Amino acid sequence: MLALLPQAIIDGVLLGGIYLTVAMGFSLAFGVLHIIDFAVGEWIMLGAFIGLIFTKWLGVDALLSLPVVFVIFAVVGWLLQPLLHRVLSGSRGRPVLMGLVFTFGLALAFRGSALTVFGIFTHSLDTVLSQGSWHLDWGPFFLTVPLIRLAGLVYALAVILGFNYLLKRTDFGLAVRAVAQNKEAAGLMGVDVNRTSAAVYGLYVGISAMTGVFIGAIVSLNAGMGPDLSIFAFFVVVLAGMGYLAGVPWAAFLLGLIQSFFLIYFNPSHVLLALFSILYLILLISPTGMFRKGV
């Protein structure tokens, strides 16, 4: 079974790539805006459906819908953020709790609307990459890499590197980091906190929506897919350390690799047990995430 080792690793990394796409926007939103957005799974789901509509309407490849989906949802996020801000900094007390309730309510509203508008059926997004795969044969080892999953990984890494560049090398990124550190002080330093926050939220929603297109192509999409994705986003971000964006890829790959190895080499019935045992063990030893840099 050693022959399967490269495949197990690749499968794990590709699975981690999927988890990364789901968790990266969520981590950004928490790290900068301190919002735990329960609706992350629903943003992904809506992005997938808009991608589906666009693809079916124009008869084009699903991946071509990515820029359209990003723009639409970035605008939606930009417009929604002030409302979120009102809830979070409201005079009603317990702003963090209200934020959770608000995003949870958003999630329910989106899910219900999607069920009503799009129905209960599961769909699949077709792309030119959907059935392609790379085969590598070398001695006893062989590898099959599904192209669409590879595309998902490339997308995830591109976004993470893009974030890194944005945050470290641009003025906008400087403003974002200032807001994340201390909103009031940032405002005093001349940063337009409202605009910056709206832009970050818009970015997060746009990225999550694009993720939806990939998930729809790699796996499938239906109106109820949100909650499971939200839960996984949560796990990845907690493992990485809440607010520590740089830890998210490592956490995502770790979870993907654990799952992949367990499914291939051990009894698959126990994969969830293994996954959560390791998760809890890590958190027991290091409650602020695997790099001890979380909130």
Partner 1 sequence: MQRRGWWVAVVLALALGLSLAVGPVLAADEFKIGVITSLSGDLATGGNVTKRGYDLWGKAVNAQGGIQIKGKKYPVRLIYGDDQSQPAQAASAAERLAVQEKVDAVLGPYASGMTLAAAPVLEKYKIPMITGSAESPLIWRQKFRYTFGTIPPVNFTGSAVIKTLAALPGGPKSAVIYGTNDAFSKATAEAFQATAEQVGIKVLKFNILPPKQDLTPLMSAAKVLKPDLIAFGGHDEELINLVKVLTQLDFTPKALLMHYGVTEPAFIQALGKNANQVLGASVWTGSMQTKGTLGWPTAKAYADAAVAEYPKDPADYTQAACSAAGLVFQAALVQLAAVPPLDEAARTKLVEILEKIDLQTFYGRVKFATEGDYYHSNAGLTPLTVQILDGKERVVAPAESAQTKLSYPMTPWNKR
Touching partner 1, residues 40-69 (CB under 8 A): none
Listed in sequence order, the residues at least 6 apart from 2 whose beta carbon sits closer than 8 Å to its beta carbon are 140
Cβ 193 to partner 1 shortest distance, Å: 40
Q: For residues 192 and 228, which CB has a smaller minimum distance to partner 1 in the complex?
A: 228
Q: Cα(88)–Cα(83) distance, rounded to whole angstroms? A: 9
Stretch 143-182 residues interacting with partner 1 (CB under 8 A): 144, 146-149
**Applying CB under 8 A, does 268 fall inside the site for partner 1?**
yes
For partner 1, the closer CB: 12 or 247: 12
7 near partner 1, rule: CB under 8 A: yes
Length of the chain in residues, anyone? Answer: 295
What DSSP line would sit under 42-107, residue for residue? HHHHHHHHHHHHHHHHHT--GGGGHHHHHHHHHHHHHHHHHHHHHHHT-TTS-HHHHHHHHHHHHH
Is residue 5 at the binding interface for partner 1, with CB under 8 A as the rule?
no
Question: Does 212 sit near partner 1 (CB under 8 A)?
Answer: no
Residue with tokens 């003025």: 171
Q: What angle do CA 50, 56, 62 make, to 5 degrees?
A: 70
Number of residues interacting with partner 1: please give it, by CB under 8 A. Answer: 40
Site membership for partner 1, residue 133 (CB under 8 A) = yes
Site residues, partner 1 (CB under 8 A) = 1, 3-4, 7-8, 11-12, 14-15, 18, 115, 120-124, 130-131, 133, 135, 144, 146-149, 218-220, 222, 224, 228, 259-260, 263-264, 267-269, 271-272
